[in-house]
Structure 1
Amino acid sequence: MNLIFEPGIWDLSNPEIWVGVGLLIFFGILIAVGVPKMVAAQLDAKGAKIQADLDEAARLRAEAEALLAQIRKEKAEAEAQAADMMAQAEADARRLEVESKAKLEETLERRQKMAEARIAQAEAQASAEVKAAAADLAAKAAEQILAARLAGGAKDPLLDAAIGQIGDRLN
């Protein structure tokens, strides 16, 4: 049952009564001195410090998220710029390839024409040398024939006609 209603519990010789009274006096002194206010002030200060730390953490988190968003944006811009640079480089490479092919074809054509001109010049020179050598040989042969004719005094009409045609054919 309930101890409060038992006989002898409220007797002043009961030590439990005095412990309870002492406890009430102790709590009264603590209240009179202002311990609850000090404890509340300490708890409020601790709470304020914790709240300041939480606010600082929230601010730092917001800054970190903003920095992360900025970094992601810069990364996307850098990737887009790199892609543009790659596209431009590929276009430049294709353009340079076309230009190089055109220049190479032009150079090859020019060299081919120069080689053909040199060949034609060499052919003309060789032809001129052959004609000159043939003319020299014909002149020497004619000289020998004329010298032999003069020495022998005989005339050959075919030989005279051939010698007359040599000059026309060589020029």
Structure 2
Amino acid sequence: MADIVTLLAAAGAEAHHADPSVLGMDTYQWVALAMTVLLGVFLWKKVPGIITGGLDNKIAEIRKALDEAKTLRAEAEALRAEYAAKIASAEKDAEAMLSGAREEADAILAKAEADSEVMVARRQKMAEDKIAAAERAAVAEVKARAVTAAAAASKVLIAKAHDGKADKKLADDVIASL
């Protein structure tokens, strides 16, 4: 147990190490000196100017890209407006065409109806004329048959009832009427 206590006492005691020093300067002083020299070299070589110049160039490139993007956006909006106007114009043209086609179709339909009425009236008139002609022909035929029948009947009647005296009287009447 005594060994344990000795070990614990040795572990609990702080070990003191000596910090290295060169030319009488401690490590933190060397770090400060190195940083000062580094900053001096940066300033002597104009590193801040190079960095700000690079940043300024980058800013100029970004501004140029932004200006180009604004220009492209304005062009795109102009194209969009132009195509929207073209679409609206095309829709109006399509509506006008459709309206014209409907009017034309209505006119064609009305003309066809009128033409069909005229054609029906003309055919009806032709049919009526044919019927009237057929009636006249039938009447003429009936008259011709009636005349033929009457002439045949008169011939028979005249032959029966007519003698020489009747002939003389008839001739005298005809001559007197002249």
* TM score, norm. by length of structure 1: 0.70
Point out the structure with max Rg over C-alpha: 2
* Residue 121 (structure 1) aligns with: 133
Supply the AA of the counterpart residue of 1:130. V
1:25-53 deviations in Å (ceiling 9; x for gaps): 11110111111111111111111111111
Q: Which consecutive segments of 4 or more residues in structure 1 shift more than 6 A? A: none
Shift of 1:138: 5.4
Between 121-130 and 44-53, the greater mean CA deviation after superposition: 121-130
Secondary structure of 2:87's partner?
helix
Output the amino acid matched with 1:111: R
In structure 2, what is the equivalent of residue 98 of structure 1? 110
The higher relative CO (CA closer than 8 Å, separation ≥ 6) is in 1
Q: Which residue of 1 aligns with 2:48?
A: 36
Following the alignment from structure 1 to structure 2, what is the Cα–Cα distance between the partners of residues 126 and 42?
Answer: 122
Amino acid at match of 1:93: A
Normalised to the residue count of structure 2, the TM-score between the two structures is 0.67
Task: Give the length in aligned residue pairs.
Answer: 140
- 1:46 maps to what in 2? 58
Deviation at 1:12, TM superposition (A): 4.1
Q: Does the alignment pair 1:18 with 2:34? A: no
CA deviation profile, 1:84-115 (whole Å, cap 9, x unmatched): 22222222222222222222111111111111
Partner of 1:166 in structure 2?
none
Residues 110-132 of structure 1: CA distance to partner in whole angstroms, max 9, x if unpaired?
A: 11111100111112112223333
| Alignment partner of 1:80 is 2:78 | no
Specify every segment of 5 or more residues in structure 2 that has no aligned partner in the other structure, as ranges.
Answer: 1-22, 163-178
Q: Deviations over 1:45-75 (max 9, x none)?
A: 1111111111111111111111111111111
SS of the residue 2:25 aligns to: coil
Partners of 1:126 and 1:31 in 2: CA distance: 137
Identity %: 39
Calculate the aligned-residue CA RMSD, in Å: 2.5
Q: Does 1:69 align with 2:99?
A: no
**Which is further off, 94-103 or 12-21?**
94-103
Letter in 2 for 1:126: A
